[in-house]
Chains A and B, each alone.
Chain A
Amino acid sequence: MNKILYLPCLALLLIGIAVTAQDDPNPNSPSPVLVAGSESDRILLRGNASAYRQEPGRELRVLYPPANEWVTANIRNIQPLESEGANSIRIFVKQRSGKTFELDVRELKRLSKDEFAITFRVFDRSGFRGQPVADGDSLIYMTWRGNASNMLKIGLGSTGGIEIPKLLEPAGIRSSDPEYAGYHFAGDRIRFAEQAAFGPSPMLDMRLRRVGLRTWLAEQFDAPYPTFAYPDPPQSPTNPPSDCSLATFPTCYRERYTMIPLQKWFFTEALYGEAQLRHRTAWSLSQIWVTSGLTVQQSSHAIAYHKVLSRNAFGNYRQLMYDMTLNPAMGHYLDMVRSTRTNPNENYPREILQLFSIGLYMLNPDGTLRLDQNGQPIPTYDQATVNEFTKVFTGWTYCNITCQNSSPGIVNYKDPMILNPTNHDLSAKTLLQYPGAPNPVIPACTNCTDPEQIRNYAEQSLNMALDNIFNHPNLGPFIGKLMIQHMVTSDPSPAYVQRVGAVFNGETGSPRGDMKSLLRAILLDPEARGNAKTDPRYGKLREPVQLITSLARIFPAVDFNGENRSDGALASYANLMGQNPFNSPTVFNYYSPDYNVPGTSILAPEFELLNTNTSTRRTNFLHTLIFDGLTPNATDSLRGTSLTFSEFMPLAEADPTGTLLLDGLNARMMHGRMSLAQRDIVLQAVAAVPSSNPMLRIKTAVYLIAVSSAYQIQR
């Protein structure tokens, strides 16, 4: 069936056959198996006698779970790397109350060639939902690299009273095509295109198949960006010129002085741009280094900011820190532009520490919280530190006179900020103190007698302060985890964070802060790769922007009339679903990296945008997009947007049962993992549409898959 799909492409593939992806290893990790005891559905445990109680009238001993009793279980079918320890494994207990607890795991030991011992205790370290209670049998399973093990019973206090639910429904039709050369892990290709790009367009999938992931990354690192030139609207004077005022010439005003040109360009580049990885990385960085058009209101300002992100997306994080610190949009947004020696402003210094580099708490190398002897997290810094950094960042302001883009009557957001020497604090500053910290103290300026000396001192101080932050051990795990969350999965295993964090901290040979190495580490990690992931908490909810772009790339978007490209006027739709791109409500982004699904301990940042209200809006938006297209309007979209389904017409026409269509959509949308139950449900709705109307059949199937939670979660 997939031959039908790919026949037209075969010629193209043959041309490129010299370049193959034979270097790409099998991305699939095995699924772990928890070893059962003599009762085949019950976990085999070893531990001190004090951990157990004899169940009355039975041979069975049950675990009595005081928090400090460590027990050991056996695991088969994992192949950990040498560096992979206990923090690559997570053990969960589901109780009758409906609560799930993540247990404290201590040690992973190899017992034999293919059997390992994992030591844990029935204690949830976060304690966010309390602690497991001894109320009989609970269900226990483990996860490793995004795959879940079998589920077994564990008797807590007593046994009985619980059934092991049916295991996950078997997957639908797989769609790998081993007869073609190239990177033939079809599911993994689609997954990769969702993580590293704005969705799996047919062209991108073809390219990945041909060159493999690693080569594609190398190509992307050198790809020219952007494909579509940045818009270049003029900067508005304090009062817009009378021939472009909001009241009289709203179209002119909109195309010059609002965020709309940037938003349209952003979507155009996401839908059609070639340098997907850079665009996607810049988008992720924009959700860490947040500025907002709600404050910095013009595209011209925000574009200068976006250029800092995209320019440094494959560079070094230290340079990004420097460029962003002196970016006027950021300077305006977090008030550094008006922070002076006599009127210091704490906003930027606080947030560069809290949000852009190291975070509030001392971290272990795997991103988990370091705790003090009382079990409390250890603050990374305090208000006094913020005050000291505040002094460093004083005196910088817009370059309104002497720079390339300076122009009378215009505030210059295009050139980096410059120092006004009279406003810079010359006193000594005490910065972050940690072992090996560079520049724990910046001495007072001793020779600041003329403006040039002050400028040199301020510039030097700025670099010393940024080095002091940049070299903090938190940097790797803190930024590494955020980037993983934006690209791959909301709740990465500590081992994954540790691998990525070590790369970013420069512990593996590449320079500290090297973005290319970071991206390789994130995207090629075994926890990211594989045709399928079965860990129930693996993946992430598609944020509104990527819900739109992923569909608009799978079913190549055109304008409403189907003649040209879409104009990219999609921001208003994302906004209705809770995400107004580049107009974040606050510096804390559209959603918090620490957000948990309400009532659970499931870490899932993007869920902060999903509720009964926005979920209805998502469903309704998808209906309009898929069935009708987004109509042009005079306000911001002259051409509108619609999807094309021509790739799937042959499948829909060839098979009145709809099966071929579902197989094709399963491969492209669900990377071959649609459940059989869902397939049956969608097929019923498809069958209700006469086979004489294949287009309506396609739209019906695409809509139902797109609105399903199985698709809404990217995993």
Chain B
Amino acid sequence: MTISRRRFLAHAGAGLTMAGLVSGSHPFGIMSALAQTSDGGEPSDYRALVCIYFNGGNDGNNTIVPLHSDQSVSGYDHYFQARGPRGLALSQKSLLPIAVPRIGGSAYGLHPALGTVANGINPGLHPLWGTGKMAIVSGVGPLIMPITRAQYQSDPSVRPRNLFSHTDQTQQHHNSRADAVMLSGWGGRIADKITTVSNPNRLVPTVSSIVGPRLFTVGENEQPLSLGPAPTPLSSIFSLTGYNGTPIANARLAALEAQILLEKGQDLVEASNDIQSEALRISRTLNSANEVTAVFPATNLGNQLKQIARMIKARSALGVRRQIFYCSLDGFDTHNGQLLGQNALLTQFSQASRAFYEEMVVQGIEDKVTQFTLTDFNRTFDPAGTGANVGSDHGWANHQFVIGGAVTAADFFGINSSNGTPFPTLVNNGPDDADSGTGARGRWIPTASVEQYAATLARWFGQSEADMPFVFPNIGNFPVTDLGFMAAS
């Protein structure tokens, strides 16, 4: 037996202690929740950022591949020479062609999983390139400051901390800085600055995560809401088992809530109480399923993005004009079995992300909602292993996808490397390789930092220039703070 919201509210009204104890301890009481839900109306200016994180380090070298034969900027031959003999190269004809204006209209290819696939429920992401709703940012990775290959090799102090380690590189993508530990992420810090300005009447936090409070979502002050994925309806994520309105149950519920206020100052106990308390508060706010229209794949990521789409649909009732979301997909650490593994994962990404885009079209806000990707690192251009088990090891700079109606063009963005494009030169021990010598394995040195990429998104989201140094502590080290892939705010 689960408690319905209506019954819960009935208790709240009737209960002797509960309403006072719990709702009174928060800025938003039950009454304001009701007032807001009846408010309705589309907020005049709405924006959402949706971070899709690929856990483990997606192999960007097989996600976007040159199809052309212009050797000055690395063509398919360069790619095939390194990866073909070991069985890690995708065939030229399997790749999904895209024309890249920034590189003279040259042809590049997307991984085949990003287009039409067997048993797919939609045509995937590839067609969004043709309609100008998807951009690719190349050469992105953690950096303290812009560096050359020579600087990287001669001066350890310019290197990000613990390069090629999962935990550290993940942290650096989440908190945006590469030179120090920081216990907040850039999504959370954007929320720190924007919440009181844009979401003064919020009933939920600005940031929501489907996979728990990952570092990206944690602010210095603002903390995220953790939701579970679909198919669980939004309205039942926080419902409590066992409360049926009898006096015995009511007394138990009152006790449960009263306990949450105990032991202030006992840091660990209080931290647990804060979470329980927030869950109870939200149980009174997320009271509608807000079912969506588009068909989502019933996959891990599909169910996460579906839940996010529901939260976006509920935006007016929840009183938010700015929302940040975080979801993630595991399994990208393809040291072996990469061909099958990455194909399955990118299929999942493409199908779920496209479904989400279509739902935003249905909701009429595809220009106001931007999906973007992050991942631990790229992988070594040089394969690991051979044959059916072939994989790749930990690399550095990667390509990222930005999806939504607010991108400026279907193009490559970023800072040019020595070959005059943001796309790295695909040569082990070449001008963009952090490795050197005969054992060099192709770990591309970034030309654009995570902060430059993130700041471009944050600016579109409405973050002020004055707050840039707070959100992105090292942004001042970079001459360009807008990579140009997002429309003016």
Contacts and interface: CB of A to CB of B under 8 A. Distances in A.
A599 B188 CA distance: 10
Interface stretch (A61-69, A179-187, A556-564, A602-610): A602-610
Contacts of A420: none
Given A345-B335, A688-B251, A703-B252, A615 B330 contact: no
Interface stretch (B68-76, B238-246, B399-407): B238-246
16 contacts: A165-B265, A168-B266, A347-B335, A354-B165, A536-B267, A536-B269, A540-B268, A586-B56, A600-B271, A609-B212, A613-B228, A615-B275, A616-B239, A704-B255, A707-B276, A710-B266
A657 interface: no
Contacts of B238: 612-613, 616
B384 A601 contact: no
Interface stretch (B27-35, B112-120, B291-299, B389-397): B389-397
A643 to B, nearest CB: 15
B167 interface: yes
Interface in A129-169: 129, 165, 168-169
B445 to A, nearest CB: 13
Contacts of B260: 709
A709 B269 contact: yes
A615 B251 contact: no
Nearest to A537: B267
A600 B223 CA distance: 11
Given A616-B240, A619-B276, 11 more contacts: A334-B335, A343-B383, A578-B212, A586-B166, A599-B218, A604-B271, A607-B271, A610-B275, A611-B275, A682-B255, A709-B263
Interface in A590-641: 592, 594, 596-602, 604, 607-616, 619-620, 623-624, 627
A700 B252 contact: yes
B158 interface: no
Contacts of B241: 619-620, 623-624
Interface in B249-292: 250-252, 254-256, 258-260, 262-273, 275-276, 278-279, 282-283
A360 B227 CA distance: 33
A600 B248 contact: no
Contact of B272 (A598, A613, A678, A712): A712
A588 B57 CA distance: 14
A710 B269 contact: yes
B161 to A, nearest CB: 8
A1 to B, nearest CB: 22
A203 interface: no
B163 interface: yes
Contact of A343 (B218, B225, B247, B386): B386
A338 B336 contact: yes
A615 B383 contact: no
Interface of B: 55-56, 86, 162-168, 181-184, 188, 209, 212-213, 218-221, 223-228, 237-242, 247-248, 250-252, 254-256, 258-260, 262-273, 275-276, 278-279, 282-283, 330, 333, 335-336, 383-386, 389, 391, 393-394, 439
Interface in A345-359: 345-347, 350, 354
Nearest to A369: B181
B254 A685 contact: yes
B162 A599 contact: no
Contacts of A538: 268
A706 to B, nearest CB: 11
Contacts of A609: 212
Interface of A: 100, 126, 128-129, 165, 168-169, 334-335, 338-340, 342-347, 350, 354, 360, 379, 383, 386-387, 490, 536-541, 578, 585-586, 588, 592, 594, 596-602, 604, 607-616, 619-620, 623-624, 627, 675, 677-678, 681-682, 684-685, 687-689, 696, 700, 703-704, 707-710, 712-713, 715
Nearest to A348: B335
Contacts of A675: 262-263
Q: Which of B254, B270, B283, B335 has the most CB of A within 10 A?
A: B335
B266 A614 contact: no
Nearest to B280: A616
Contacts of A610: 272, 275
Given A360-B168, A620-B240, A688-B247, A713 B391 contact: no
Contact of A586 (B55, B212, B384): B55
Contacts of A597: 267-268, 271
Contacts of A612: 225-227, 238, 275, 278-279, 282
B273 A596 contact: no
B384 A335 contact: yes
A69 B393 CA distance: 48
Q: Which of A602, A611, A696 has the most CB of B within 10 A?
A: A611
A379 B182 CA distance: 18
Contacts of A599: 184, 218-221, 223
A602 B267 contact: yes
A619 B240 contact: yes
Contacts of A607: 271-272
Contacts of B167: 354, 588, 592, 594
B187 to A, nearest CB: 12
Contact of B268 (A541, A619, A627): A541
B18 to A, nearest CB: 12
Nearest to B275: A615
Nearest to A708: B259
A526 B333 CA distance: 42
A536 B252 contact: no
A696 B251 CA distance: 13
A536 to B, nearest CB: 4
Nearest to B382: A343
Nearest to A689: B248
Contacts of B279: 612-613, 615-616
A615 B276 contact: yes
A168 B212 contact: no
A620 B271 CA distance: 19
A610 B270 CA distance: 13
Nearest to B227: A613
Given A345-B335, A624-B241, A598 B278 contact: no
B248 A541 contact: no
A345 B166 contact: no
B155 to A, nearest CB: 13
B255 A684 contact: yes
Smallest CB-CB A-B distances: 8 pairs: A611-B226, A688-B251, A709-B272, A685-B255, A620-B241, A536-B267, A612-B279, A598-B218
A607 B266 CA distance: 15
A678 B266 CA distance: 14
B400 to A, nearest CB: 21
B169 to A, nearest CB: 12
Given A345-B336, A586-B330, A677 B391 contact: no
A3 B11 CA distance: 41
B237 A616 contact: yes
B242 A165 contact: no
Given A612-B282, A685-B255, A704-B252, A343 B268 contact: no
A712 B276 CA distance: 11
A536 B251 CA distance: 29
B256 A598 contact: no
Contacts of B330: 585-586
Contacts of A335: 335-336, 384-385, 391
Given A360-B162, A599-B223, A346 B394 contact: yes
B182 A128 contact: yes
Contact of B263 (A169, A596, A598, A604): A169
Q: Which of A126, A338, A623 has the most CB of B within 10 A?
A: A338
B262 A677 contact: yes
Given A347-B335, A613-B237, A709-B273, A537 B259 contact: no
B259 A704 contact: yes
Contacts of B384: 335, 339, 343-346
A295 to B, nearest CB: 9
A537 B385 CA distance: 46
A581 B247 CA distance: 38
